[in-house]
Structure 1
Amino acid sequence: MRISKYILSTIREKPSEAETISHQLMLKSGMIRKISSGIYTWLPIGLRVVNNIQKIVREEMLKIGGIEFIMPMLQPIEFWDHSGRLNQYGKELFKTIDRNKKTFILGPTHEELITKIIKKEIYSYKQLPIILFQIQTKFRDEIRPRSGIIRSREFIMKDAYSFHTTSSSLQKTYDILYRTYISIFNKIGLKIVIVEANCESMGGTISHEFQALSKSGEDLLAISNQNNITTVKKVFSIKNKFKKNKQKTFNSTESFSLLNNNKNINLKKIKLVQIISLKSKKNSLFKIVCLLIEKNSEIDISNIRMTDLLTTPIKFLNQKEIFKILGKNLGLKEIKNSLLIKLIIDQSLISEKYFLIQLNNEDKFLTLINLKKDFIKPIFINIKNTMNKNKYLNQEEFNLHKSIEIAHIFKLEKKYSRMINAKVKKSNGSSTFFKMGCYGIGISRLIAAFIEQNYDNRGIIWNKSIAPFQVVILPINLKNSSNVQKMTFFIYEKFKKENINVLLDDRDEQVGVMFSDMELIGIPYSIIISKRYLSKNSVEFKERINNTSFIVPVDKIFTFIKNKLI
């Protein structure tokens, strides 16, 4: 591609509306342009990256037997009303009314629709298991679009759905997709961590999020490495600040301010503590006594008994017993505000500030707390048994990292097939509800995540697998040297014949502008053609990732580049 016949729209100044690195660089390099809040046009440079990523995703999905199809963006609203997700999604759903006064939504996801389709198309166990996938534009009416394409109102997504008759078949496919996602992100060159996640919005039993570490992320992960085994726990998501009934994943305004203050992140290790609930004395002002203690620590019962707050013998409570006493489940909100609960904190924690809290070993989602601000008048005593000091050497300590969720997989089981009465014949002739899995990748979002992990002060650093162009030819004084012209177009045409994605900068621009634009866009390899090196029958080769350069003979440049692209 010749730039003189292309659209290359770079920007010199930092865009005023862009706060995150990825948003800034995508605008500056001419990948996207804002149309309205949360709505962007993909310009040619950006679309080439989108297409390259889609190609990798599509190849990996086809490799495991996935079947590609596409469903309509418009979905009848009654599908969502039937599933109960109409109220759950609420105002995030885009709605539109046709000329017949019938209401539709622009789909943010397609579980209801795919289940209705499969109900009509699949009738026997012999047709299962099956994996269907699509790559499509989705819609979500974000309350506050931000960070460019990281949280936009219109986004590109690959979603896949699997159908089964047995749980073992579903688990096998789930594991295959789990490994496939790792392969996809490895091929793209994205560094990820995987965390067990909440199934609340989709339903089902088990789900995993694939997170890309980034200073601009909206999620907060706690990562520990003990004995070379990495543990990842999700603390909370910034997006939950705008949703109701999210007490378990977001509770503290202090933790929200911590998330948005880069200076606080990773300055110290955060310990994991847990809440243990006990029954208080009869006729006490408190109904429940909660202990806050380091995870896996042994409790010194004698010290707690001295407070004269508990029944004898000491009774540890589970969630069912807590619900019977309080009339509701125990959450951090209740511990902070309820007059029916008294909090005892281990003395060893008094000098610390931030902790990750886990309620009764049951929460998969943890909450960041600040002892100084989140609790009012707790009791501080020694409640940890310190007789066996070696017991505490393996206490996990966590570092906090921001991250961007780029993919999510779910074991939906029978949630949607039950609602839609979608059944399939088993080998014995009886019918059973389909068991389902759901597997999503945010195509557009992971582009931003990649940039967040791969940039320098000059611009984006693409790798050869997803770069908009693999090689750029930069001729010096193209119009003033016949030798430069001849060699430039010879190399350019040769690369095209070899199906190498090559860009030729044939503009009448200053050398500094040409170099600056190509470094901003992030093309992996540059070939610089000048009279100086042509006099030695050579060209200069430059690699973007490490800014190294080599002088390569002209007759070897094609083999040299091919070897780089292998």
Structure 2
Amino acid sequence: MYTTKYHIHTAKETPSETEIISHQLMIKSGMIRKLAGGIYNIMPIGLRVLRKIEQIVREEMTNSGAIEILMPIVQPAELWQESRRIEEYGPELLRFKDRHNRNFVLQPTSEEVISDIARNEIYSYKQLPLTFYHIQTKFRDEVRPRFGMLRSREFIMKDAYSFDVDEENALKSYHVMFKTYSKIFRKMSLNFCAVSADTGSIGGTYSHEFHVLAETGEDTIAYDKNSDYAANLELAAAPCLLDKRLCAEKKITLIPTPETTTCEKLSEFLQIPITKTIKSIVLASESDNVINIFLLLIRGDHSLNEVKAKKILGIDNYRFATSNEIEEYFNCPPGYIGPINTAKPVCVVADTTVANMSDFVCGANQKNAHYIGVNWSINLKEPDIIADIRNVVEGDPLPNGNGYFSLQKGIEVGHIFFLGTKYSQDLRASFLNKSGEKEYLQMGCYGIGITRIMAAAIEQNNDALGIIWPKSIAPFEVVICPIGWKNDNVKNIAIQIYNMLKAHNIDVILDDRNTRPGIMFAEWDLIGIPCRINIGPKDLEHNLIEIKIRKSPNESIKIPIESASQELIKILNNL
């Protein structure tokens, strides 16, 4: 590939609407161009990266025994009605009608369509196990698309679906895919972590997420530095931090606390540790036009884990209470809410640590007032529910007691689920077992964000100069930069090395634009090609060429022209 026969269009200025480094660098390097909110054109240099990611995914999926198919972007809405997800999925599911007034959706995922294929194509246990996958455009109507390709509305995803005769075999398929995903991300030279995760809107029994570790990640991973334990913050079990409840030593007292609407302000005002305060959160859950109010209590220095809270019976369909509801049930504004003397009965849910606290401070259900010296069973009844409802924090003991939690930001690039019969039952996807009896197929589903990997890899691999691509997914492995293209000797050596690299199946581009060296080097550093070969007249006088490795920008290697072939292959193999 010669640069004059290709399209490269970089930008010097950082676009004002970009928030994170991958979004900035993908636009500056000419990889993507915005078409609409959350919708991007993928330009030639970006498409080369995308295709290399797809190639690695295809190779490993094929090695796992999965079979590629292609399902359409447009799906009949009745399939989503059968699975009962037409409303559950919410406004992210883009719905529309065709000219015949028939209802359709743009696919955000393909569980319904693959289940329809299975119920029409799989009829006997002899056909199982079976795994299908496809790489296809998806659309999710995000309320606030942002971060470029990390949270776009249109994106490309690989999704796979396994079918088995029973749960035991379905879990074998699940673990095959777990290993396959690990191979895929290792092949891309990404620093990643697999974590236990919540099943979310996809559903199923359990799941794992695969995260590229990066400080700009939206997710937080809780892990143990000395073992394989890792979980998404949403799922990490937070231990009770108090072995037992101590005896009361103080008497309950109502005290004025003007303008202390947060636990931080209250701690400062009373000159007490924040760990002696209680944070009150009010949720409302509606069922059959009846509103139930829940008062969730966590320690002042902790934060609510909404995923955990949602799993408590009765709270699964919750929302945060309105100001009017808070006034009605607690007779005070937010900031002074507490479990003592509520205006109306509420269900009190205490975090496990809160349930063992004594002599604590909580809101008095009066504006500008709190109670100090509060104790369970003395000043208020025991909690209605005691449960783990908080997020773990750095240094919390692990659930097994052997070590402590560390926290790390990550970008989710893959997610695998064991579904069981969640979809096969609703869509009647069954088979005949060895006894000739009908059973529902056991399913798993497995997704990888192809376009998301592009952005995540940049978030993990960049410096002040631009992108630093891992060799396996770089748009080109090598760029040859002649310093003075019009110099015949420079041109001839550049072409000679270019042809040699091509003969060794190395993905190389030759910059024949006769650009000034500084501009040329800066552009290729921005784009992030792993290896740059500089060929200039001064080095050629000594029969040398210069090698620059992108991840080591301050270092260079000079090699003789006569041994360039062997030396370059050796260098590239070590990248």
Q: With structure 1 as the length reference, what TM-score do the two structures score?
A: 0.76
2:282 aligned to which of 319, 333, 353: 333
Deviations 1:77-128 (A, max 9, x none): 1111121111112221222322222221111111011111111111111110
Q: CA deviation at 1:500?
A: 1.1
* 2:529 paired with 1:523: yes
> Which residue of structure 2 lines up, in the alignment, with residue 404 of structure 1?
411
Could you tell me how far apart the structure 2 residues matched to 1:544 and 1:67 are? 37
2:557 aligned to which of 546, 550, 554: 550
> Which residue of structure 2 lines up, in the alignment, with residue 209 of structure 1?
209
Pairing 1:277-288 to 2, within 5 Å after superposition: none
Q: CA deviation at 1:373?
A: 6.5
Could you tell me how far apart the structure 2 residues matched to 1:188 and 1:152 are? 22
Q: Which amino acid aligns with 1:78?
A: E
Contact map agreement 1:474 1:529 (CA 8 A) in 2: yes
Q: Which amino acid aligns with 1:177?
A: M
Could you tell me how far apart the structure 2 residues matched to 1:102 and 1:334 are? 38
Q: Which amino acid aligns with 1:524?
A: P
Could you tell me how far apart the structure 2 residues matched to 1:383 and 1:546 are? 61
Contact map agreement 1:409 1:438 (CA 8 A) in 2: yes
Contact map agreement 1:464 1:470 (CA 8 A) in 2: yes
- Classify the secondary structure of the residue corresponding to 1:486: helix
> Which residue of structure 1 lines up, in the alignment, with residue 222 of structure 2?
223
Are residues 304 and 103 of structure 1, via their aligned partners in 2, closer, same or farther at CA, if it must alter by over 3 Å? Answer: farther
Pairing 1:304-453 to 2, within 5 Å after superposition: 333-334=282-283, 353-354=301-302, 376=338, 377=362, 394=401, 397-453=404-460
Contact map agreement 1:344 1:381 (CA 8 A) in 2: no
Contact map agreement 2:133 2:158 (CA 8 A) in 1: yes
> Which residue of structure 1 lines up, in the alignment, with residue 480 of structure 2?
473
* 2:182 paired with 1:182: yes
Could you tell me how far apart the structure 2 residues matched to 1:62 and 1:373 are? 57
Contact map agreement 2:46 2:475 (CA 8 A) in 1: yes
Are residues 489 and 90 of structure 1, via their aligned partners in 2, closer, same or farther at CA, if it must alter by over 3 Å? Answer: same
Gaps of 5+ in 1: 237-248, 250-271, 275-293, 308-330, 364-371, 385-390
Contact map agreement 1:164 1:436 (CA 8 A) in 2: yes
Contact map agreement 1:162 1:436 (CA 8 A) in 2: yes
* 2:509 paired with 1:560: no
Could you tell me how far apart the structure 1 residues matched to 2:520 and 2:209 are? 40
- Classify the secondary structure of the residue corresponding to 1:558: helix
> Which residue of structure 2 lines up, in the alignment, with residue 510 of structure 1?
516
* 2:438 paired with 1:493: no
> Which residue of structure 1 lines up, in the alignment, with residue 351 of structure 2?
none
Q: CA deviation at 1:544?
A: 0.6
> Which residue of structure 1 lines up, in the alignment, with residue 355 of structure 2?
none
Are residues 222 and 163 of structure 1, via their aligned partners in 2, closer, same or farther at CA, if it must alter by over 3 Å? Answer: closer
Q: Which amino acid aligns with 1:448?
A: A
Could you tell me how far apart the structure 1 residues matched to 2:373 and 2:223 are? 28
Q: CA deviation at 1:354?
A: 4.1
Identity of aligned residues (%): 43
Could you tell me how far apart the structure 2 residues matched to 1:170 and 1:381 are? 54
Could you tell me how far apart the structure 2 residues matched to 1:382 and 1:559 are? 77
Q: CA deviation at 1:344?
A: 8.9
Could you tell me how far apart the structure 1 residues matched to 2:180 and 2:530 are? 26
Could you tell me how far apart the structure 2 residues matched to 1:83 and 1:295 are? 39
Deviations 1:285-323 (A, max 9, x none): xxxxxxxxx62642136449998xxxxxxxxxxxxxxxx
Contact map agreement 1:235 1:356 (CA 8 A) in 2: no
* 2:233 paired with 1:235: yes
Which 10-residue stretch deviates more, 209-218 or 152-161?
209-218
> Which residue of structure 2 lines up, in the alignment, with residue 366 of structure 1?
none
* 2:240 paired with 1:295: yes
> Which residue of structure 1 lines up, in the alignment, with residue 99 of structure 2?
99
Contact map agreement 1:273 1:355 (CA 8 A) in 2: no
Could you tell me how far apart the structure 1 residues matched to 2:139 and 2:76 are? 15
Count residues with an aligned counterpart: 467
Q: Which amino acid aligns with 2:506?
A: I
Q: CA deviation at 1:218?
A: 2.3
Are residues 204 and 486 of structure 1, via their aligned partners in 2, closer, same or farther at CA, if it must alter by over 3 Å? Answer: same
Could you tell me how far apart the structure 2 residues matched to 1:484 and 1:374 are? 77
Q: CA deviation at 1:555?
A: 1.9
Could you tell me how far apart the structure 1 residues matched to 2:298 and 2:475 are? 58
Could you tell me how far apart the structure 2 residues matched to 1:120 and 1:550 are? 61
- Classify the secondary structure of the residue corresponding to 1:449: helix
Q: With structure 2 as the length reference, what TM-score do the two structures score?
A: 0.75
Could you tell me how far apart the structure 2 residues matched to 1:395 and 1:551 are? 51
Could you tell me how far apart the structure 1 residues matched to 2:163 and 2:292 are? 45
Are residues 472 and 162 of structure 1, via their aligned partners in 2, closer, same or farther at CA, if it must alter by over 3 Å? Answer: same
CA RMSD of aligned residues (A): 3.2
Are residues 374 and 409 of structure 1, via their aligned partners in 2, closer, same or farther at CA, if it must alter by over 3 Å? Answer: farther
Are residues 496 and 222 of structure 1, via their aligned partners in 2, closer, same or farther at CA, if it must alter by over 3 Å? Answer: closer
Could you tell me how far apart the structure 1 residues matched to 2:205 and 2:61 are? 23
Which 10-residue stretch deviates more, 42-51 or 81-90?
81-90
Deviations 1:177-205 (A, max 9, x none): 11111111111122222222222311211
Could you tell me how far apart the structure 1 residues matched to 2:397 and 2:34 are? 53
Deviations 1:51-71 (A, max 9, x none): 111111111111111101101
- Classify the secondary structure of the residue corresponding to 1:55: helix
> Which residue of structure 1 lines up, in the alignment, with residue 390 of structure 2?
none
Gaps of 5+ in 2: 253-279, 285-290, 313-333, 339-361, 364-370, 377-395
Deviations 1:205-253 (A, max 9, x none): 111111223333222x253436x125434335xxxxxxxxxxxx9xxxx
Q: Which amino acid aligns with 2:462?
A: Y
